[in-house]
Amino acid sequence: MDNLLSGLRAAAEPTRLRLLALCAEGETTASDLVRILGQSQPRVSRHLKLLCEAGLLDRFREGNWAFYRLADETTPGGRLAGRLVALIPDNDAQAMLDRRRLAEIKEARAAAAEAYFRANAAHWDSIRSLHVDEVEVERALRDALPPRIGTLVDIGTGTGRMLELFADRIERGVGIDRSRDMLAVARAKLDAAGLHHCQVRQGDMYCLPLPDGSADAVVVHQVLHYADRPAAAVAEAARVLRPGGALVIADFAPHRLEALRDEHAHRRLGIAEEEVGDWCRAAGLKPGVARHLPGEPLTVTIWRVERPAAARAMRPVVEVGEAVS
């Protein structure tokens, strides 16, 4: 009862109700909210602080920026926030104006993200041309996971493609990446697709900003060949995986294309099947049968492994400065 009253008191103010409605549209920075509301930074920050303390909003730090969104709907505060926002009439004049201003900001953000993507597209296209069609890879990835998933975590999310790929199957998606530029691309794509149940976070694959056993499925797509310590990355993925959950890894089979190391910063020229098996067993996971998708000259391998119900994942030792691709 006390939590309910606290949440209602926090929301019972015009500006704070507007903030809830805006944050329901997806992750938004404090500076964007200041522009939309036309109020001072200290005042908006105070309102946001009250909403976070009441459990209605979540706040995530990313460098010098802070992002806000409605609290997760699995929490009492998140459920209350969702119900309050649903009560705001769609034709409310102030709400319509706020949404229009937010749309303008998102369009500008999407344009900046698209410019970055275009500038780097040659990098991805040059590698994509060396292996099997991406459509076939994505079909195999979908085959590796069940039709319904609670929480999906995508490690090294990049442009957020894995979140898009599984969006129709998941209740909640969380993408983790070290690069703010890539996160900007991912946010723009998720916003454009209206995938508000998906979010991205800045983080390190060796120290994920997630609690133990919080994911029903984890995807690591074309990430481990960048890793200095792939075994530690697998162990950290296992840590956040719930008992009975599945980890899917997609990466290149061993190859001899030194140019990928020299020109594209690949630390490993592919990954052997037995290596992945060793890493998974060390992390308390049960390896399954690997699926190979031959290409010319690169073969993509997809591993599906499970965390047994009685197993406990190992927590890796994290070294300062380790980064996700």
For 139-149, write each residue's pLDDT tens digit: 999 999 999 99
Q: What is the mean pLDDT of the chain?
A: 88
The pLDDT value given to residue 122? 62
- Biggest CA pair distance of the chain: 63
- Say whether pLDDT at 269 is over 50: yes
* Sequence-distant (≥ 6) Cβ neighbours of residue 1 within 8 angstroms: none
**Domain 2-100 CATH assignment equals 1.10.10.10:** yes
Residue 78 sits at the vertex; the CA angle it makes with 77 and 79, to the nearest 5 degrees, is 90
* 89 in Cβ contact with 25 (< 8 Å): no
pLDDT tens across 26-43, in order? Answer: 888 899 999 999 999 999
Determine the Cα angle at 29 with ends 27 and 34, to 5°: 130
Read off the amino acid at residue 10: A
Planar angle of CA 139, 115, 131, nearest 5 degrees: 30
* Domain limits, the chain: 2-100, 130-306
Does domain 130-306 match CATH 3.40.50.2300?
A: no
Alpha carbons 187 and 26: distance in angstroms, whole number: 9
Q: Indicate if the pLDDT at residue 97 is higher than 50.
A: yes
Distance (Å, whole) CA 320 – CA 94: 46
> End-to-end distance of the chain based on CA atoms, in angstroms?
45
The structure tokens listed for 150 are 């609670």
Taking only the tens place, the pLDDT of each residue in 164-217 is 999 999 999 999 998 888 898 899 999 989 999 999 999 999 999 999 999 999
Q: How much of the chain, in percent, has pLDDT values that exceed 70?
A: 90
Considering the entire predicted model, what is its pTM? 0.75
Cis peptide bond upstream of 42, omega within 30? no
Contact 56, 71 (CB under 8 A): yes
Tell me which amino acid residue 122 is. A
At 320, the pLDDT band (50, 70, 90 cuts) reads very low
* Residue 296 pLDDT greater than 90, yes or no: no
What pLDDT score was predicted for residue 115? 74
pLDDT of residue 224: 92
Residue 233 three-state SS: helix
Task: State pLDDT tens for residues 210-263.
Answer: 999 999 999 999 999 988 889 999 999 999 999 999 999 999 999 988 888 777
Task: Give the residue among 269, 279, 164, 301 at the shortest CA–CA distance from 230.
Answer: 279
pLDDT score for 259 = 86
Beta-carbon contacts of residue 260 (< 8 Å; ≥ 6 apart): 127, 266, 269
